[in-house]
Amino acid sequence: MKCEALALEVTSVVLGASREFLAREGFIELLPVILAPVTDPLRTTPEWATVSAYGSSWYLTRSMIFHKQAAVRVHPKIFCFSPNVRLEPVERAQTGRHLFEFVQLDLEVRNAAREEVMDLGERLLLHILAEVRRECGKALAKAGREIPEYSRPFPRITWHEARREFGEDFELVLSQKSETPVWLVDFPIDQREFYDREDPERPGILRDMDLIYPEGYGEALSGGEREHELARIKARILRQGLSLDAYAPILALAEDGLPPSAGFGIGVERLVRFVCGFDHVRKVRLFPRVPGERALL
């Protein structure tokens, strides 16, 4: 089977297995939001994609984080296959992990703690991998790829420990050295966005996490608990040097009442890249959007 066909088949199994698993867990699927008056600040991606319509400017959604926080007011467990546009710097085309248009499976759970969504993330990933092995195992083997069986709970390491042990480029080194998916937890407050909840018992440390793939494939999933109280959200926006005006819709939501929640997003193309063992995530999409490259279709 050609690479392309294999990737499409695996993608389709990943989508189906995720939906089936999440439905069983009591989640409902939201339709994605593509245009938004406010979107994820993502300070490591400084350029914004906008379109104008009816006299206003709209962002192309960078993540549905705020929509997820709003949605759990209506239903306790939601997910969405969310197309995101992030104008990554051109050099990120070389990482093998960046597309400027991609899809993440983004989910959120009302009143959940970080540990609950970590448990869910492990079970979701193992279910997807089992389904992929069952449906595409032969085709993958032909392409020289076999996914090992992983057991849970996955190991965890804190951001500070990882940094101490593996140096500046700790995420990549951790991923290269690991033989199983591994959790990176407890990021320092200034490493992440204002919506990541600060641990009330450990000021300066967040109740958040990333899941890192083994074999050097890098980040699989990113998420955590959310700041949901108006005063805290305001303080965090200001701490990051952002303007309260720019995030007025979030402040209005919080004033109206946002429930505590936790969740994460898992990059679909990166997951398929890992499953297929591709050197670059571009091979996953039939119509890839690689930073700095023109597309024919």
Residues near ligand ASN (CB under 6 A) are 40, 42, 63, 65, 104, 106, 222-223, 263-265
Q: Which helix (H) or strand (E) holds 281?
A: none
Q: Cβ of residue 263: shortest distance to ligand ASN, in angstroms?
A: 5
Which residue number, 19 or 43, has a Cβ lying nearer to ligand ASN? 43
**How far is the C-alpha of 215 from the C-alpha of 177, rounded, in Å?**
7
Task: Locate 162 and state its tokens.
Answer: 């990882």
Which residue number, 45 or 176, has a Cβ lying nearer to ligand ASN? 45
Q: Cβ of residue 40: shortest distance to ligand ASN, in angstroms?
A: 5
Ramachandran bin of 25, using left for φ above 0, alpha for ψ from -120 to 50, beta for the remaining angles: alpha
Crossing angle of helices 248-256 and 230-239, rounded to 10°:
160
Asked if residue 292 lies in contact with residue 93, where contact means CB atoms within 8 angstroms, the answer is yes
Q: Cβ of residue 223: shortest distance to ligand ASN, in angstroms?
A: 4
Q: Which helix (H) or strand (E) holds 67?
A: helix 65-71
Nearest 5°: phi and psi at 154? -70, 150
- Count CB atoms within 10 A of the CB of residue 150: 14
Q: Cβ of residue 37: shortest distance to ligand ASN, in angstroms?
A: 18
Nearest 5°: phi and psi at 205? -115, 140
Which residue number, 6 or 233, has a Cβ lying nearer to ligand ASN? 233
Which residue number, 62 or 273, has a Cβ lying nearer to ligand ASN? 62
> Shortest CA distance to 108 belongs to which of 83, 84, 62, 76?
76
In the bound state, the residue with its beta carbon closest to ligand ASN is: 265
Q: Cβ of residue 84: shortest distance to ligand ASN, in angstroms?
A: 7
Which residue number, 40 or 88, has a Cβ lying nearer to ligand ASN? 40
Q: Cβ of residue 156: shortest distance to ligand ASN, in angstroms?
A: 17
Ramachandran bin of 277, using left for φ above 0, alpha for ψ from -120 to 50, beta for the remaining angles: left
Which residue number, 181 or 263, has a Cβ lying nearer to ligand ASN? 263
